[in-house]
Amino acid sequence: MDIVVPRPSPRHFTAPNEALAGVGASEAAALLAAAADVALVIDAGGIIRDMAFGSDEMLQEGFGDWIGRAFVDTVARDSRTKVEQLLREATATPSRWRQINHPTAAGQQVPVRYSVVRIGRDGRMFAIGRDLRALSNLQQRLADAQQAMEREYARIRGAETRYRLLFQLAGEPILVLDANSTRVVECNPAAGRLLSRDPRRIAGQTLTELFARASSGAVQSAVASVRVTGRVEDARVALADGTDLRMSASLFRQDGGSQILVRVAAPASTGETLPAASSGLLRAIEAMPEGFVVTDPERRILTANAAFLDLAQLATAEQARGEPLDRWLGRGADLDALFSSLAKHGSVRHFATLLRGEYGSSEDVEITGVSVPDGETPCSGFSVRPTALRSVPTSSGRQLPRSVEQFTELVGRVPLKNLVRETTDMIERLCIEAALELTRDNRASAAEMLGLSRQSLYAKLRRYGLGDLDPVEDLPEE
């Protein structure tokens, strides 16, 4: 059996006379300076007689002039008592470590952790210090991070409390489902009343189990659609007792997973019942062959009918809702002129502009608009229809042909060269007049709208005698 010999404690050197034999004062000083951030030799009266720094950082703080000063005078006022205790407790063994703060010329404090040991018989002491700034900075960062986490936790807890309160008090039936299993995760009291079940028993059931068997296909189709598109509106479902319901769903992510927010309501409870005339008007607007769109005061689309969606090459009204109208309508500054005229007069008729489709198509359209500033929600409504060539009187009294057939009626009566030249000049003049009228005679905006430089526009204005230009007026600089 091996005998285990206990090893001496490494707290102190076991044989210092042998281990440090031959080490002179200069070697010992170098070792101490390298081992400590600051090393001080202090006499029996507490005066610093010599010093060394392990790096230049403390020298840069102005601590190089301590020699000849009392140790207690180099520290901050709140650390003087600690220095006195260190010097009083100093013996042949190192004293306990104490943190001392040294003030700097910049008004800051440098924390240093000291231990003092008495050396020799004349009362001299040796103070070894370790710079705590790195540790202090790390502790401060940790404290700041902890406070930030606590503030964020309080914010999230407050938001969750508000969510829970709104969820429970909402009059609209709401269900939260797991997107993968379609099982109910949460159910508010309104949904329990509508479904005639205890909300606690609804949790854990699949969505199809809450409705009639005949509605299973509609429910599964709605769930599949919301997983792909992120949203579904007005899915028709029914309860087991035959009550018809309207279901909407939205997909959202939480805690790394996907969930579905389902809203269920009876058709009669979706809002106030509109009068028959108003309801018929809304259906007529939705079915009209011309595009119709309603915007808020910031020009963002509130709703649009199917004809406008076709013109803009959109699949659903959700793609347009909340988007700015000028994403699809307008060229240059003409949409600003449209809304400016609408704000001034309350309505606009036959405003010509360009409609750009979502997939790159473009079409000339004509807009008729009206502003409704006094409603519950201020808005503007616009009728949008593709432009057809209409009869427009020319300066000579002749009408602009509106079809190829009318062009052919002039063949034989007017030379082709004259017909082309006169028609081109007439269309150019009409376009310039229309641009000046839409921009309220702002020639810079009219030039931009027509795709011309300002010099070219001024030349054409002189050619057709439009505006109040002086014949010798210099062309404006670009």
Pick the CATH number of 170-268 from 3.30.450.20, 3.40.190.80, 1.20.1260.10, 3.40.50.20: 3.30.450.20
pLDDT for residue 331 is more than 80 = no
For 26-131, CATH gives 3.30.450.20
pLDDT of residue 218: 87
Is the whole model's pTM more than 0.85, yes or no? no
Give the chain as a 3 state SS string: CCCCCCCCCCCCCCCHHHHCCCCCHHHHHHHHHHHCCEEEEECCCCEEEEEEECCCHHHHCCCCCCCCCEHHHHCCHHHHHHHHHHHHHCCCCCCCCEEEEEECCCCCEEEEEEEEEECCCCCCEEEEEEECHHHHHHHHHHHHHHHHHHHHHHHHHHHHHHHHHHHHHCCCCEEEEECCCCEEEEECHHHHHHHCCCHHHHCCCEHHHHCCHHHHHHHHHHHHHHHHHCEEEEEEEECCCCCEEEEEEEEEEECCEEEEEEEEECHHHCCCCCCHHHHHHHHHHHHCCCEEEEECCCCEEEEECHHHHHHCCCCCHHHCCCCEHHHCECCCCHHHHHHHHHHHHCEEEEEEEEEECCCCCEEEEEEEEEEECCCCCCEEEEEEEECCCCCCECCCCCECCCCHHHHHHHECCECHHHHHHHHHHHHHHHHHHHHHHHCCCCHHHHHHHHCCCHHHHHHHHHHHCCCCCCCCCCCCCC
pLDDT of residue 95: 78
**Strand ordering across the sheet containing 257-265:** 184-187, 174-178, 257-265, 244-254, 231-238
pLDDT for residue 398 is more than 60 = no
Pick the CATH number of 276-386 from 3.10.129.10, 3.30.450.20, 3.40.1000.10, 3.10.180.10: 3.30.450.20
419: how many CB neighbours lie within 10 A of its CB?
Answer: 15
pLDDT for residue 276 is more than 70 = no
pLDDT of residue 403: 45
Asked if the domains 26-131 and 170-268 are classified in one and the same CATH topology, the answer is: yes
pLDDT of residue 225: 86
Domain parsing of the chain, residue ranges: 26-131, 170-268, 276-386, 391-478
Domain 391-478: CATH class, spelled out? mainly alpha
Task: Report, as an integer, the average pLDDT of 200-212.
Answer: 87
Question: What share of the chain in percent tops pLDDT 90?
Answer: 0
* pLDDT tens-place string over residues 445-473: 888 888 888 888 888 888 877 766 655 44
